Amino acid sequence: MIDVREVEPGVWSVIDGTRSVEIRLVGDEVRVNGVPVAVDTSDPRQWSPQAARGAVAGSAQVKSPMPGKVIEVLVMAGQEVAAGQGVVVVEAMKMQNQLKSPREGRVQAIHAKQGELVNAGAVLVTIE
C-alpha cells in the first residue's frame, strides 16, 4: 500500500511501506528528498549528450550562458584563437565575464555586436 498526499501546493508526501519520501514538484522541476531529478517525457533512447548540448560537428560555439549585454568582442573573424582564449565579454548582473574559446581554431563568424543585449544560449562566436 502506497500513500500519496499533496500536503501543500507542490509538496507531496509519499509513504511506501514504511519508507517516507518528500517530493517537490513545480512545473518541470522535480525533487525527491531535496535532490533534483531531471524528468523527461521524451524517449530516452533518442536522447544523446551531443544533441542535448547542441554541439555542431567540426565547429565550436561560444554561447552566452545567461541574458546579458555584450561589452566587448575581443576577436575578429578569421583570427586564430587558442583554447581558453577570451573571445567575448558579456555583462550580466553587474558582473563582466570573459567567455573563452572551448578549443583552438579560427574564428569563423562573430554573431554579437558590442552593446547588444543577448539571451541565454545565444551563439556569440563560432570557432572552426
List the strands of the sheet with 95-100, edge to edge: 95-100, 86-92, 68-73, 117-118
Report residue 44: phi and psi, to 5°. -65, -20
Please say which residue, 74 or 109, places its beta carbon nearer to other proteins: 74
Please say which residue, 28 or 58, places its beta carbon nearer to other proteins: 28
**Least distance in Å: CB of 77 to other proteins?**
18
CA angle 127, 90, 120 (to 5 degrees): 80
Please say which residue, 25 or 58, places its beta carbon nearer to other proteins: 25
- Residues making contact with other proteins (CB under 8 A): 1-7, 10-12, 14, 16, 21, 23-44, 47, 65-67, 71-72, 74, 86, 89, 91-98
* C-alpha 101, offset from chain centre: 16
